[in-house]
Amino acid sequence: MSTVIDAGQVAEHNAKLQAQLQADYDALGGMLARRGQDIEELTSLAQGFAVAVPSWGVGTGGTRFARFPGRGEPRNVFEKLDDCGVINQLTRATPSVSLHFPWDKPTDAKELRDKAASLGLFFDAVNSNTFQDQVGQEQTYKYGSLTAGSAEVRAQAVAHNIECIELGKTLGSRALTVWVGDGANFPGQHNLRGALERYLDSMRKIYAALPEDWNVFIEHKLFEPAFYATTIADWGTSFACATELGPKAKCLVDLGHHAPNTNIEMIVARLAQFGKLGGFHFNDSKYGDDDLDSGSINPFQLFLVFNELADAALRDGAAFKPSYMLDQSHNVTDPVESLMNSAVEVQRAFVQAALVDRAALAVYQQQNDALQAAQTLKHAFRTDVSPILAMARVRAGGAADPVACYRASGYRDRVAGMRPAKAGASSSGIV
């Protein structure tokens, strides 16, 4: 496997932090032992954690108002993979990449798969895009795609999704994520029921093209770009459609796609209970679909989501395996740094959830001891598992402190020299 940053630089970085890390690790290990928890078990658990990087996240995103390009932004999907390679090299928590078509459409899919393999990467769910028009496209998605009133538009949108499946097959992907921005801006603009009927009709055709071992993930989103009524606005609609379509159809929860204060962990519990939790787009938000770094606004919510996932894993065993993916947009930070931090924050929530004393929690719940039940969760959430995460990375060949190591490596300067900026360019595809 080729590494993007010189392995010697990573080793040097780790050597400098080794004594400090070992001391912190031993101290935490002692504290956890007194609680009856084995730090070594937690460290191997952390090493088994993985979350996919979104290809579109390695470029600078932008807002609805402007985009300020960053230095050394990847100009094509191969360069995006190099950046993803760095993220995984230093965090050892992101071995897969989620592609978005046609933004990432390769001329030769096999070449792209070989490139990924050379970096030790593979592909998670592929995403279709019928929420914007592409140059040369026959039909416009201005008035919808899979739900459009026009049969020609629907056929084009279905064909694009089937093409995504075909590309994904060559790339070794096993799932298609479908998010449509279809909806209405005005009351009366749509027949609400008719739009959903057309959606299901289109999705049945896409579903029929899925290989045996594939899933299709339905991603709901409350609003934007439609501001009055979005066809797949909530988990209820997503669940109903996934149920209607069949066992390969599951729901995808993007943390930013709900009304403020929605109890997302409860949605997670419901979908897990009924076998329809397909995966996640992790990010954080204050107001809407802000696409901020995971854990940057509400780390407790992220922990509570993983608390439900830990419960589901205990109940359902190996059969419970939702896809973990990040979905963020970076405007003021280096995307590689943000994605590394986010991967670590999601991994942190995963390990913290493993610290929950579930036997004690069950007793408190049975006794209606709400205060102690809540404290049991808080106790796990308050534990700083950073030394476990750092040790997991170092043992797997990653960096004790990924951001510090990345900065010291000079990677951004190096690629800035090789990837000249294009004025107003949108390498992520997000405009």
Q: Could you tell which of Mn ion, ligand LRH, none binds residue 127, using a CB distance below 5 to 8 A set by kind?
A: ligand LRH
Closest residue to ligand LRH, based on beta-carbon distance: 179
**Residue 29 or 74 having the CB closest to ligand LRH:** 74
Tell me the closest approach of the beta carbon of residue 157 to ligand LRH, in angstroms.
Answer: 14
Nearer to ligand LRH, 25 or 179 (CB): 179
Least distance from ligand LRH to the Cβ atom of residue 127, Å: 5
Tell me the closest approach of the beta carbon of residue 86 to ligand LRH, in angstroms.
21
Q: What strand order describes the sheet that includes 96-98? A: 53-54, 96-98, 122-123
CB neighbourhood size of 83 (10 A): 25
Q: Which residue's CB is nearer to ligand LRH, number 56 or number 207? A: 56
56 binds, among Mn ion, ligand LRH, none (CB under 5 to 8 A by kind): ligand LRH
CB of 218 to ligand LRH, least distance (A): 11
Taking the least distance from each CB to ligand LRH, the nearer of 179 and 239 is 179
SS (H, E, C) 276-287: CEEEEEECECCC
Nearer to Mn ion, 4 or 326 (CB): 326
Cβ pair 62, 404 in contact under 8 A: no
Measured from the CB atom, the residue of 327 and 337 that comes closer to Mn ion is 327
CA distance 97 to 52: 5
Residues lying near Mn ion in the complex (CB under 5 A): 254, 281, 289, 327
- Closest separation in Å from C-beta 266 to ligand LRH: 21
CB of 258 to ligand LRH, least distance (A): 12
Distance CA(133)–CA(36), nearest Å, equals: 57
Considering beta carbons, is residue 82 or 289 the nearer one to Mn ion? Answer: 289
At its nearest, how many Å lie between ligand LRH and the CB of residue 164? Answer: 11
Binding site for ligand LRH (CB under 6 A): 56, 127, 179, 219, 221, 254, 281, 289, 327
| Nearest distance, CB of residue 190 and ligand LRH, angstroms | 19
* Closer residue to ligand LRH (CB): 84 or 390: 84
